[in-house]
Amino acid sequence: MKNILISLFSAVLLTSCATVNYSYDGRAFKNSLESITQDDLKKNLYVIASDEMEGRNTGSAGQKKAGEYIIKQYREMGVSHPTLMSSYYQNVPADFLNAKRGKGLPDSENILAFIEGSEKSNEIIVISAHYDHVGTQNGVVYNGADDDGSGTVAVMEIAEAFQKAKKAGHGPKRSMLFLHVTGEEHGLLGSDYYSQNPVFPLANTVSNLNIDMIGRCDPENCGKDYVYVIGSAMLSSELKKINEEANSKTAKMFLNYKYDQPNDPQRLYYRSDHYNFAKHNIPVAFFFDGIHEDYHKPTDDADKIDYEALQKRTQLVFATAWELANRKDRIVVDGKNDR
């Protein structure tokens, strides 16, 4: 009787620990959240957006060098590629890259890193950012620190935060795919290729959080603590609420929905990599800082990034991903892509 009581007691204790540890107030979450630091983001961004990477044009030697650096970081944090793949690379062939615009791009690669879920491993959360930029023009390197070096380093830092939780015994319950896509600047090509050749079934892909430019501010919002969130209310009535809850527990920023209004002339919902998931009815949220003076200019450099803003926005995406990965039920799909 005594033994039964003790094991019953420890079972209750274990269950409640598990619950507490996955909540936003739990140690596991807080330790991971705090591991997303300005120093790490800065260190990686100064490499990704350095002249050595030659502006990371799709298929260029500079982009491949950036890709090697990204993979080296995953190796160091102990995060591998999906087990179904023989490396981190998903080859995106030149034929595919040139089918629409015929720009003579060479073969390029998406880069995939993966943390397997502990309970619902066949359900996938995708965190994405494009690592290509517009290259070098007339001898001038377009470093693309914000576009999309900022998203690239954010995705790596989010992976590291999940890996930290996993090492402490609180890994994500669903699986996490960290997807660095190529060819965005030439028409969302890498994400299009992935959605046509998914490594995991799209039916099991629960959500995509996409990051494209989160290290600067636009003239309308400079000085404010903000991020534009786009598309979070479109396909799932739950995703926007989850993102808002994550924000209230962590970054506490102003979530700007300007580009999320029906009939917004910019139509940004359709214009970055997340749409290649949304068009397959996978709920998405897109995180963005707006259009600023250095957008697609050679002056989009690492020394102009607001690292505090970059950290906060990265932490917000991490917190949203944490809930998507660990909540009991996968989020519902109850909306439509049409405005």
Residue-wise DSSP of 166-204: HHTT---SEEEEEEEES-GGGTSHHHHHHHHS-SS-GGG
Least Å distance, CB 130 to Zn ion, is 6
**Binding status of residue 109 toward Zn ion by CB under 5 A:** no
**Binding status of residue 273 toward Zn ion by CB under 5 A:** no
Least Å distance, CB 283 to Zn ion, is 21
Three-state secondary structure of 265-303 = CCCHHHCCCCHHHHCCCCCEEEEECCCCCCCCCCCCCHH
**Binding status of residue 132 toward Zn ion by CB under 5 A:** no
Q: By C-beta, is 272 or 315 nearer to Zn ion?
A: 272
**Binding status of residue 289 toward Zn ion by CB under 5 A:** no
Q: Tell me the C-alpha distance between 317 and 315, whole Å.
A: 5
Site for Zn ion in 179-218 (CB under 5 A): 212
**Binding status of residue 294 toward Zn ion by CB under 5 A:** no
Number of CB atoms found within 10 A of residue 319's CB: 26
Least Å distance, CB 188 to Zn ion, is 10
Q: Give the list of residues 6+ apart from residue 18 with CB closer than 8 angstroms, or none.
A: none
Q: By C-beta, is 123 or 300 nearer to Zn ion?
A: 300
Number of CB atoms found within 10 A of residue 87's CB: 12
For Zn ion (CB under 5 A), the number of binding residues is 3
Least Å distance, CB 261 to Zn ion, is 21
Least Å distance, CB 268 to Zn ion, is 11
CA distances from 2 to 5, 7, 9, 174 (A): 5, 9, 10, 37
**Binding status of residue 146 toward Zn ion by CB under 5 A:** no
Q: By C-beta, is 212 or 218 nearer to Zn ion?
A: 212
**Binding status of residue 301 toward Zn ion by CB under 5 A:** no
Dihedral pair phi/psi, residue 85, rounded to 5°: -100, 155
Q: Tell me the C-alpha distance between 91 and 223, whole Å.
A: 41
**Binding status of residue 148 toward Zn ion by CB under 5 A:** yes
Q: Tell me the C-alpha distance between 176 and 174, whole Å.
A: 7
**Binding status of residue 54 toward Zn ion by CB under 5 A:** no
Angle formed by the axes of helices 38-48 and 307-326, to 10°? Answer: 110
Least Å distance, CB 228 to Zn ion, is 13
Least Å distance, CB 147 to Zn ion, is 4
Tell me which stretch binds Zn ion (CB under 5 A): 144-152, 157-165, 230-238, 280-288. Answer: 144-152
Binding site for Zn ion (CB under 5 A): 147-148, 212
